[in-house]
Each structure stands twice: as structure tokens, then as C-alpha cells.
Amino acid sequence: MNERRPAISETPQRRLGKDLLSLAPIPAPDVLRLLQVARDLKAAPRQSPSSYLLTGMTLGLLFEKPSTRTRVSFEAGMNQLGGQSLFLDFEKIQLSRGESLSDTAQVLSRYLDGLVIRTFEQATLEEWARHTSIPVINGLTDLGHPCQALADLMTIWEKMDCLKGLKLAYIGDGNNVANSLLEASVKVGMHIAIGCPRGFEPDPHIVAQAQMEARQTGGSAVITHDPLDAANGADVVYTDVWTSMGQEQDQARRLTALAGYQVNDQLMNEAKPSAIVLHCLPAHRGEEITASVLDGPQSVVLDQAENRLHVQKAILAEWIGHSSS
């Protein structure tokens, strides 16, 4: 077996930093290059040289929230790149019994080559990054979901054959997915319109930063309380659940407030006939999206879900593969 760890691309060393905590600090050219790496890995045969890129390396996954796509795509991706992964159940490690985060982080740095963390507060993720000497990857926080947004861009690029100049309409709760989509879309020159109720807007700091960056890339970022206005002329229509993990006690209020923000046939009539539909899943048919749209011909949600695997592999190659070289 050839255990050489080949380079994924011939481009110069990237400027991505030790950790992937959000997309905000990543330069636009590196976002595009990362997407190209993901597409290259998707096209590569299973037994290509990249299959040995992370041979002998171990990824830890520490999740405080449930997960299907993030966990499985990282575990499968690590395996396909020649490494292995360990799932760390928060309730079954000493951290849950009072060991300090600092001690845990420093010990795990001696065992692992990288750590994917799914937690609640962004500040907790940042604390992990401060105390580890290995790359920390954001597997989802209440503030952002950068891995998802990268897979979304990859899917749009595949389906539309471009990114710059396209309009992305995000309809519903301005949650962590909306925040990361704002950060990601303006970097590649897209126009993003968030249609949400008052009081459910994305993080105002992220909105302001996205609008500032959009002026440099030719994109735009607009927040509106009219879902039909957001969807008007859209190339991509995106939605997510109305009640995110940890918000279950607020579900009744959310269902009432968001009732007019469903992605349905009427709303899709506002978008371009060629528009595609995205949803990061899991979906609640009949709430944020109707079955006729989610399962209809414009939906590409299964391709979108598959691309989580390819993007995770690109992230592993870039952050963990490069950190060991």
C-alpha cells in the first residue's frame, strides 16, 4: 500500500489558520479553492492517491447535540482519506463530571490530530480552540454552521455552473444556518435575501459584516420581512426547520410567528422557473416546507446532503492534512 500523503492541490499554502470556527475570516479565494478541492475529491476514484492522505491520523468528534449528517460525513470522510475517527459522547467522558475544559482539551491534543465539536455557545467552541494545539472544526453551534454552508455553495455551483451573481433566498428563521450562508454567499459574489419575521433576524453583527464584504465582491445581503419579496427572482430557495436544537420549549411561539414563511408552491412561483430548492435537513414537511416542494423536481436536497461528505473531506484535507505537514 502506498502510504504517501499526496498534496490535494498545487496551489500555495493556504491562509486558513489553525481552526475552522466560522467562515468570516477565510479569504474569498480560499473559499473557492476549498470548494474546488471538494469537487476534485468527489470526482476522484475511491482508491486514488487521496485515499491515503490522512493515513495514521485520528479525528475526534465531541458532540453535545444530536447529529446524523455531520457525524456520519466526517466519520466516513476520515475513513475514505485513510484515517480513523473516535466519537466522544459528552455524557461518557470526564468533562461531564467536572473535569475542566482546559485539561480535557490539552489531553485530547496529545491523542488526536483534529477535533470536530458540536456544541451550543460559540464561546465554548472558541474556548476549545484556545486550549488545543490541534485543529478545531465547528460541527455546529447556535451561531453558525460553516460546514453546511460550504456544502450548500458546492451544490449550487454544481447545479448552476456558477456562483457569482446568483440570488439565494433564505426563508424562515434567521438561525445558525442563515448566519453561515450570509458569510459564505457574499464571499463568492452572490446576492442573498433573508426573508424572516421580525425578531427572527440573523445575528446583526454577521449581517453588517456580510454587507460590508458584499461591497467588495459585487454581491449583496438584504434582510426583509416579506418572504415573497425575498424569493422574487431567486435562483436558489433555501429553508431550515423553525425550531432548532435547544429551542424546543419555544416551539409553539415559533410555529405561530413563522407560519407565513413556508416554502410552498405559491412562494416558488416568485422564484425563477429554473430555481433549485435547498434544505439542510432534517425537514418537517408541512411546517417550513411542503412535501410537494421538498420532494418535487426542483429539490436537490439529497445531492446537497451527499456533498456534506465531499466538503468534510476537503476540510479534513486542508486543516488536518496541512497541519501535519
For 316-325, the pLDDT digits (tens) are 999 999 776 5
Q: Give the residue numbers marked as catalytic.
A: 118, 145, 148, 240, 280, 308
- Of 84-93, 107-116, 172-181, 262-271, the poorest mean pLDDT is in 84-93
In angstroms, the CA 124 to CA 101 distance is 9
User: Per-residue pLDDT averaged across 159-166, rounded?
Assistant: 98
Q: Would the pLDDT of 66 be above 50?
A: yes
C-alpha cell at 263: 416554502
pLDDT band at 240 (very low <50, low <70, confident <90, very high): very high
Q: Would the pLDDT of 291 be above 90?
A: yes
Taking the model in full, what pTM does it have? 0.94
Q: Is 117 helix (H, G, I), strand (E, B) or coil?
A: strand
Domains within the chain, CATH numbers bracketed: 28-144+308-323 (3.40.50.1370), 147-304 (3.40.50.1370)
Q: Would the pLDDT of 106 be above 60?
A: yes
Q: Is the peptide bond prior to 282 cis by the omega test (within 30 degrees of 0)?
A: yes
Q: Would the pLDDT of 41 be above 50?
A: yes
User: Per-residue pLDDT averaged across 92-98, rounded?
Assistant: 88
In angstroms, the CA 301 to CA 294 distance is 8
In angstroms, the CA 224 to CA 196 distance is 7
In angstroms, the CA 84 to CA 99 distance is 26
**pLDDT of the residue at 15:** 62
pLDDT tens per residue across span 190-217: 999 999 999 999 999 999 999 999 999 9
Which residue has cell 447529529? Answer: 67
Q: Which residue has the higher pLDDT, 42 or 8?
A: 42
- CA 34, distance to chain mean position in Å, is 13
* Residues whose CB falls within 8 Å of the CB of residue 41, separated by 6 or more in sequence, listed in order: 8, 50, 310, 313, 314, 317
Q: Would the pLDDT of 132 be above 80?
A: yes
Q: Could you give the percent of the chain with pLDDT greater than 70? A: 94
In angstroms, the CA 111 to CA 122 distance is 24
Q: Is 317 helix (H, G, I), strand (E, B) or coil?
A: helix
| Contact (Cβ atoms closer than 8 angstroms) between residue 135 and residue 19 | yes
Q: Could you give the percent of the chain with pLDDT greater than 90? A: 86
